Chain A
Amino acid sequence: GNSVTQMEGPVTLSEEAFLTINCTYTATGYPSLFWYVQYPGEGLQLLLKATKADDKGSNKGFEATYRKETTSFHLEKGSVQVSDSAVYFCALARDSNYQLIWGAGTKLIIKP
């Protein structure tokens, strides 16, 4: 079946460090892939997405590349800030009207 696996958290980094949060997926066909972010006390917001192999999604300095050969969609940021502290969710959609399948979420803590 379809599934998403994320690296366990929490991930703790110092400000300006390089960030990678790993995400791998299992799915039939060619799903769309997403990263959502949840700031404390809020609902989730779409951070970026990619709809086909080799696409790169990017937003707010974050990037993720859809790698079909490794079934991965790792989230990266070159220099994190304290304000990036949040929970990050990787998700996939099998097709446009199918419910998203979510990873467990990775809590990111950035220390000043």
Chain B
Amino acid sequence: KAGVTQTPRYLIKTRGQQVTLSCSPISGHRSVSWYQQTPGQGLQFLFEYFSETQRNKGNFPGRFSGRQFSNSRSEMNVSTLELGDSALYLCASSGQTNEKLFFGSGTQLSVL
């Protein structure tokens, strides 16, 4: 069974641009959640989608948005990038419950 796949692996953008990250969950998983990981703030929850509906949301500004498609693949978008958005963005998938998350290797975003 293939694991969680995140693309791209690395991304460099400049302030003010927007970016879209992609996550393909494990086959059969309907929940996809997104996290931002930085050395200073640790692991912070962004949002979670289940069957194309946002089920949970963290405390991030509206510049951060996401969506989930009918095949459970998910995208995350960040508009008007700021230097502080530089981070490792992790995606995780799970089955019916969130009690075991399977993580991808992440997308390392650098904002210059």
Interfacial residues, chain A to chain B (CB-CB below 8 A): 32, 34, 36, 41-46, 49, 51, 89, 93, 96-100, 102-105
Among the listed A93, A102, A104, which residue makes an inter-chain contact with B98, where contact means beta carbons less than 8 Å apart?
Answer: A93
How many angstroms between the C-alpha atoms of A95 and B60 in the bound complex?
22
Across the two chains, which residue of chain A brings its CB closest to B50?
A97
Q: Which of B72-105 contact A (CB under 8 A)?
A: 90, 92, 96-105
Q: Contacts of A36 on B, CB cut-off 8 Å?
A: 101
Q: Contacts of A93 on B, CB cut-off 8 Å?
A: 98-99
Among the listed A45, A98, A104, A105, which residue makes an inter-chain contact with B103, where contact means beta carbons less than 8 Å apart?
Answer: A45
B101 adjacent to A44 (CB under 8 Å): yes
Interface string of B42-55 (1 = CB under 8 A from A): 11010010100001
How many angstroms between the C-alpha atoms of A32 and B97 in the bound complex?
12
B99 adjacent to A99 (CB under 8 Å): no
Q: Contacts of B92 on A, CB cut-off 8 Å?
A: 43-44
Nearest Cβ on chain A to B96's Cβ, whole angstroms: 8
B42 adjacent to A104 (CB under 8 Å): yes
Interfacial residues, chain B to chain A (CB-CB below 8 A): 4, 33, 42-43, 45, 48, 50, 55-56, 58, 90, 92, 96-106
Q: Contacts of A103 on B, CB cut-off 8 Å?
A: 42
Across the two chains, which residue of chain B brings its CB closest to A103?
B42
Q: Contacts of B42 on A, CB cut-off 8 Å?
A: 102-105
A105 adjacent to B99 (CB under 8 Å): no
How many angstroms between the C-alpha atoms of A47 and B42 in the bound complex?
18
Across the two chains, which residue of chain A brings its CB closest to B9?
A41
Q: Contacts of B98 on A, CB cut-off 8 Å?
A: 93, 96-100
B103 adjacent to A43 (CB under 8 Å): yes
Q: Contacts of B90 on A, CB cut-off 8 Å?
A: 43-44
How many angstroms between the C-alpha atoms of A97 and B58 in the bound complex?
15
Q: Contacts of A96 on B, CB cut-off 8 Å?
A: 96-99
How many angstroms between the C-alpha atoms of A99 and B98 in the bound complex?
7
